[in-house]
Amino acid sequence: MQTWLQNQVVENGEGIAIRFKGVSYTFSEVYDLVKIKKKKLLTLVGNERRIGLIGKNSLEMYLTILALWEIHREIVFLNFRLTKNELEYQLKEANTQIVIGDSEQREKLTAIEFIDFNDLNKIKSLDDPATNLLEKTNVASIMFTSGTTGHPKGVIQTFDNHYANCLATKKNLNLSSSDEWAAPTPLIHISGLSIVCRSLILGLTINLMTTFDEEELTCELKKGKITIVSVVSMTLERLMAIYPENGYSKSFRLMLVGGGSVPTHLIENCQKNNISVVQSFGMTETCSQVIALSEKDAYSKIGSSGLPLEGLSIKIANPKNNVGEIWLKGPQVITSYLRETDSWTKEGWFKTGDLGYLDQDGYLYVKSRLKELIISGGENIYPAEIEQVYLAHPKIKEIAVIGKNDSKWGAIPIAFVVTELSEEDLNSYGQAKLAKYKLPKEWHVVSELPRTTSGKINKNHLMKELK
């Protein structure tokens, strides 16, 4: 049975698979490069099934993903923003001994075998070592997302999950091989990897960017090839701030916005510039978007995440005043984590931990994402994880982390803490254990934290104090 890439070589070999830094590669050219890379990989990874991958967007990252899938490896995607301690925890959870990635990540990965892209490219091409070939696996990728307990969960995504999500997205956005999707989002995140999957399954082109740069992306949007861009509200705001007088090219179709609802003023700004915006809701556990709000519903359904895409079922469980936990079921929804949890019912419903409701037309409204989730610049920040790190310090008695609205990032983490430590000490302690974007941006030292009648810290009270 052929891989997705092999199918595209047969059906769409001369189609453009990817553009990166002004250079275009057809699917046939990509496959030729992948065949060389997979031979090199087989000499290095041995019989290891799971291989870690870490780094910023690059042609090497893209080709390595495809090559690892060609040799039937399960890819453990690692966030390059994480600290050494965070990475070591995830690698242990995933039982991963080998990591491939950017050379600057080496110093954080001393406990395992690390292969940087430069070393990989220096290896002479060899014949496929038959002893290192493995049987095909349905597990495509493993990504970590923190739960409300603070412990990162290993999300097991199958090729079937990715395929189902792609077909539903195709129908929702009317995708075809003539589309070109700009990817300024990291390939280590599901928002980036899902674009790779869509390209391999549907034959569309990826316009890969190393990172988000509004000026570089605007130049690309003016050239006339990009039809779709994945953004979050913050990056969309930055694009609209420098929207060109003559607009984008006529080929551009829409902005797909994830990471939370879009502010009304930004929707208005986009409509003023004739920019179509599709808002979406998705999770790592659903392999990207599974609910979407079309442009025509943006005003009549303000605050809504939209309607479920094809194949997805939604259930509001145990509702109180119509609001309950959001349960999902469908072929794009994962069926297990690396560790067993009670996240699924006996009937197969996935319990998201999000609270929300459905209106009379079936549109979903999310009241809180994973109860306390903070979405900052498109990154998910979980207060419980930060709290656990700081509570390990002997001089910190109590801590509560909550999100605060921020005009630049959407939200930022701030902390209320019972301690004798200075703000400098608190920041210094966290910098060694947490990624920079997770560090609290404000510290409020208090004598005690408010509690509910059951003895739990009353975060609602703390949120009210901020208003």
Give me the CATH number covering residue 418. 3.30.300.30
Over 90: is that where the pLDDT of 95 sits?
Answer: yes
pLDDT, tens only, 120-150: 988 876 555 555 667 888 999 999 985 444 5
153 in a structural domain: no
Query: For residue 308, what pLDDT is reported?
Result: 97
**340 lies in the same domain as 220:** yes
Number of domains in the chain: 3
Q: What mean pLDDT is predicted for residues 278-296? A: 92
Lowest pLDDT segment from 68-72, 110-114, 180-184, 295-299: 295-299
**188 lies in the same domain as 329:** yes
152 in a structural domain: no
Model pTM score = 0.83
256 in a structural domain: yes
Over 90: is that where the pLDDT of 299 sits?
Answer: no
Alpha carbon distance 410, 284 (integer Å)? 20
Over 50: is that where the pLDDT of 346 sits?
Answer: yes
Closest C-alpha among 439, 24, 18, 391 to residue 192: 18
Q: What mean pLDDT is predicted for residues 193-216? A: 97
Over 90: is that where the pLDDT of 263 sits?
Answer: no
**391 lies in the same domain as 337:** no
146 in a structural domain: no
Residue 263: give the domain boundaries: 160-368
Q: Cα dist. 214→136, 137, 199, 234, 241 in Å?
A: 40, 39, 23, 11, 9
**391 lies in the same domain as 359:** no
* Domain closes at, from 350, 368, 386: 368
Alpha carbon distance 410, 381 (integer Å)? 12
pLDDT, tens only, 16-41: 999 999 999 999 999 999 999 998 99
Query: For residue 370, what pLDDT is reported?
Result: 55
Q: What mean pLDDT is predicted for residues 442-454? A: 79
Alpha carbon distance 257, 156 (integer Å)? 24
pLDDT, tens only, 371-413: 677 889 988 787 877 887 888 788 988 899 999 988 889 999 9
Query: For residue 386, what pLDDT is reported?
Result: 87
